Amino acid sequence: MLNIPCPFCGQRNESEFAYGGPVKPDRPQPDKVSNDQWVDYLTQVPNPLGPVEERWWHVKGCGTWLTIWRDTRTHDIVEEPGDAG
Ligand SMILES: [Zn+2]
């Protein structure tokens, strides 16, 4: 079970949150990219082995949306990876 750091409520149990999914790249203009790139944007979900940036909604708490980095290998919340990582 994750303990997620809410900026308003502090460390809270994962059961108080709703998963909002991974943070995706900015939506491209459909007429500025190839069909393959557009289909990839619509259908591909970031699923790296390692840190992934995710959105969570503190739905049973203060109601804020927050972004965390979670390591998919350990399920631990980690610091935002730097340029060296
Ligand atoms: Zn909160």
Task: Read off the pTM.
Answer: 0.81
pLDDT in tens, 10-62: 999 999 999 999 998 889 998 999 999 999 999 988 888 999 999 999 999 99
Residue among 70, 45, 72 at smallest CA distance from 56: 70
Q: Which of 54, 49, 53 is nearest to 72 (CA)?
A: 49
- The rounded Å distance from CA 15 to ligand 1 centre is 12
Which residues, 6+ apart, have CB-to-CB distance to 20 below 8 Å? 54, 55, 56, 57, 65
Tell how far the Cα of 80 is from the centroid of ligand 1, in angstroms.
Answer: 20
Number of H helices, E strands in the chain: 1, 6
Q: How confident is the model at residue 82 (pLDDT cuts 50, 70, 90)?
A: confident
Ligand 1 centroid to residue 64 C-alpha, Å? 6
Domain 3-78: CATH class, spelled out? alpha beta
Ligand 1 midpoint to CA 14 (Å)? 11
